[in-house]
Amino acid sequence: MVKFRAIISFLLVLVTVVVVNWGSPAAAKPPKKPTTYTTEQIQQLQAYAADVAEMRDRLPELADLIQKQNWVFVRNFIHGPLGEIRTKMLTMSRNLLPDAQKEANQLSKAVFDHLVDIDQAAASQNYKVAVRSYAETVRDLDTFLNLIPQG
């Protein structure tokens, strides 16, 4: 009787394994990546883009501070009004299609790195580095904003 129970238990385990592994192959396939945006996704992305564009619109203030070599306020501006720019850009890039996500992540990192360069240039009062990094910030931020789909 003990051998019979062991054999039945083994067969039940075997049947369970077979059913689970081969039972629904469609469920085992990875989901397809979306190829287009829904209207809701576009609206959400445009709301995020409005926040980033608002920060982009404030960049001329930073240029003015760099031009005047007002290093204390340059650093304050980077850490204050522009302090959340990378977070907002990364949030936005997570909602892009997979094709655009990689480029968006690279651009958000580049913008952040340029702002760090400006901050360090302000700390060392290096005008040339600050101006060059500012121009690169504007270029990369504009490229990033161009990745956002329009309605």
Structural domains present in the chain = 38-146 (1.20.120.290)
Residue 112: CB atoms within 10 Å:
18
Q: Is the pLDDT of residue 132 over 90?
A: yes
pTM of the entire structure? 0.74
Q: Which residue has the tokens 């980033």?
A: 52
Tell me phi and psi for residue 63, to 5 degrees: -60, -40
Q: Is the pLDDT of residue 70 over 70?
A: yes
pLDDT at 148: 86
pLDDT at 3: 74
Which residues have a Cβ under 8 Å from the Cβ of 134 and sit 6 or more positions away?
Answer: 59, 62, 63, 66, 114, 118
Question: Percent of the chain, pLDDT > 70?
Answer: 83
Which three-class secondary structure state does DSSP give residue 150? Answer: coil
Which residues have a Cβ under 8 Å from the Cβ of 80 and sit 6 or more positions away?
Answer: none
